[in-house]
Amino acid sequence: MQRLYRYVTSLQVDPLPLNNHVIYCINPHCQQRQNPDELECCQTCGTPLLIHDRYWLIQPLRRLDSRKYTDIFEVDDQGTQKVMKVLKDNHAKLVELFEREALTLELLNHPGIPKVESDGYFTVSVNSTTELHCLVLERIEGQNLEAWAKQYGAISQSLALNWLRQLLEIIDYLHQNQFFHRDIKPSNIILKPDGRLVLIDFGSVREITGTYLAKLRGDVELTKIISEGYTAPEQRQGRCLPQSDFYALGRTLVHLLTNKPPSCLPINHNTGQLIWQDKAPQISKPLAEFIDDLMADAVVNRPQNVQAIAQGLTRVSLWLRGLGCWVRSPKGIATIITLGMMGFGVYHISQPWRFQYYFKPGREYLEQVREYYSQYYWKQGREALMEFRLEQARINLERAVKINPNSALARSDLGLICKYQEDLKCAEEQFNQALKLKPDAETAATIHYNLAILYEDRKNFEQALAEYKLAMQDNGYVGIDATNNFARLQIWQLFNYDLAINLLVKALQRTETLDLDETEKNSLQSVLYKNLGWAFRQKADYQEAENYLQIAITLDKTQAAPHCLLAQVQQKQGDEKNALISWKNCLEFESRGLPEVQTWQGEAQEYLNAQ
């Protein structure tokens, strides 16, 4: 459960902060696209801000980038929030794909596919020279599975089967309507807050820019969607079949089960198969082999339709696999033997002279049953928590705690749920009860970390610092993250800049000892460098501050804080031109729930309004 509390709220927030006082200009060539919401035309280029007589561009859902073929905005449609994709390049192939996506989504009607109304596709002329193709889609709340996997790690077998069945239902609907997706991968699947999946980007230009356009030799040019690690061999050759979607589905499952993109996994050069099963020990052998069948290089070796996949899944269903694994396990064998002993004991228990021989085994059996059901409800609760199904998670974890009040893990997880539900008294009580049970060092550090965040949210900084200090004793990720937050509070609340710098430098050295993938390591180091830059900025050492903040931005461009701080430093140095860019970036990215960053973003808005 490390870091779950800190990041789980991203399931319900937008990639960029919503500012209700700004309307964006649709013109991609406009030099300043943000406008006060009371204007009807862009104050910079004069383009009408009301699009197609009904849509206001509220905020970009990803960074505006001239190198991408599309912009993506959240829009207001007469009080309803939707998503608008704007194609900026009129290349014939790109327009063809864009129109195909619009037509496909207009024709389809399934809860796992974004809806497009019949008038959702239109064009807009800008300055009488540029024609923009626009597509308005249903807004899907949630998080794509690539981002989800980065936060929460490899999924369980039961969750894999849940998601697999949902995706098969969507794919079956597509295939029955004579469509196939061609670009199934984790980033094209959205997990909604209710646990349902939605498949997105049907012929999406955005995903073409994220992959590449491949050209065939000769006079004929063919646009092919290629996503490294997910695209089937025949699709690379320009021949896409329904079974190509199955291949991509299998590769997607591998990514989610191992938390590693398929392109980063080795290949058996003798068989051509991906070597991945050793990195997903949580799933059964039959399911792993079934996923290998989905990813077979030869089309004839893959299941030929969704029905064939469904029939295969019945052989590896969750219940049978779980039962089989449990029966074969030492615990399962011991429980079966004990059940037999109990049956024999209960039969004779009416005879008093035999009671002394069977009472003790019976009591031990009851303890085994108690432990079994406590573990069962804890696992069910944790899985629901990972899927952010809070009510169900709380029910299961309360059952686990009731059956076994001495389960530190169950109490810790229950504390998290209470915090999410803003039941702060319950959260504090469960965290403290868990600590009294003397859990292992890593669990204890995580509990102290979550308590620290709880106290920080209450602005009880003294207790927050005390809890962070206890969490800092952990030798892993939690300890480094706690050190970072401890140093952050030293800068923000206590002005102990030198102490913060000393702690942050040591924490950066410790990151080299952790077994992290590149993305996770970059993210962790970025926040450490950001806080180093902040400390030097407070000491008025602006050159050092700028150096560290630039490193933080290079490692992770998606957090607002280093941009906000860099803007402050550049202003102090008289570099107003670059400060303006940094203030814009400060507003464009997430505050990640940090109150000091929200304050800086308010300063950014004031600065930009003054400009």
In a domain, 333, yes or no: yes
The residue to which tokens 């991203």 are assigned: 10
In a domain, 172, yes or no: yes
Domain that holds residue 408: 329-439
Q: Which residues are catalytic?
A: 183
Residue 52 has pLDDT above 60, yes or no: yes
Of 5, 10, 7, which Cα lies nearest the Cα of 450? 5
198 three-state secondary structure: strand
Verify that 67 and 109 share a domain, yes or no: yes
In a domain, 507, yes or no: no
pLDDT at res. 232: 83
Span 450-456, average pLDDT: 91
Verify that 397 and 422 share a domain, yes or no: yes
Residue 2 has pLDDT above 60, yes or no: no
The DSSP secondary structure of 442-488, one letter per residue, reads: HHHHHHHHHHHHHHHHTT-HHHHHHHHHHHTT-SSHHHHHHHHHHHH
From its phi and psi, is residue 201 left (phi > 0), alpha (psi between -120 and 50) or beta?
left
Q: Which is higher by pLDDT, 321 or 391?
A: 391
pLDDT at res. 385: 80
In a domain, 253, yes or no: yes
Verify that 84 and 172 share a domain, yes or no: no
pLDDT band at 98 (very low <50, low <70, confident <90, very high): confident
Verify that 396 and 425 share a domain, yes or no: yes
Give the chain's mean pLDDT: 81
Verify that 283 and 356 share a domain, yes or no: no
Verify that 307 and 362 share a domain, yes or no: no
Verify that 233 and 271 share a domain, yes or no: yes
Residue 537 has pLDDT above 60, yes or no: yes
Span 303-325, average pLDDT: 63
Span 75-86, average pLDDT: 91
pTM of the model: 0.47
pLDDT at res. 298: 82
In a domain, 486, yes or no: no
> What does the alpha-carbon distance between residue 88 and residue 72 come to, in Å, rounded to a whole number?
11
In a domain, 112, yes or no: yes
Query: What domain count does the chain have?
Result: 3
Residue 152 has pLDDT above 60, yes or no: yes
pLDDT digits (tens, 9 = 90+) for 357-381: 444 444 555 566 667 777 888 888 8
pLDDT digits (tens, 9 = 90+) for 410-445: 999 999 889 888 888 999 999 999 999 988 888 899
Verify that 217 and 193 share a domain, yes or no: yes
In a domain, 535, yes or no: no
Q: Report how many helices (DSSP H) and strands (DSSP E) the chain contains, helices first.
A: 24, 11
Verify that 101 and 221 share a domain, yes or no: no
User: Of 138, 168, 198, which residue sits at a domain end?
Assistant: 138
> Which CATH number is 105's domain given?
3.30.200.20
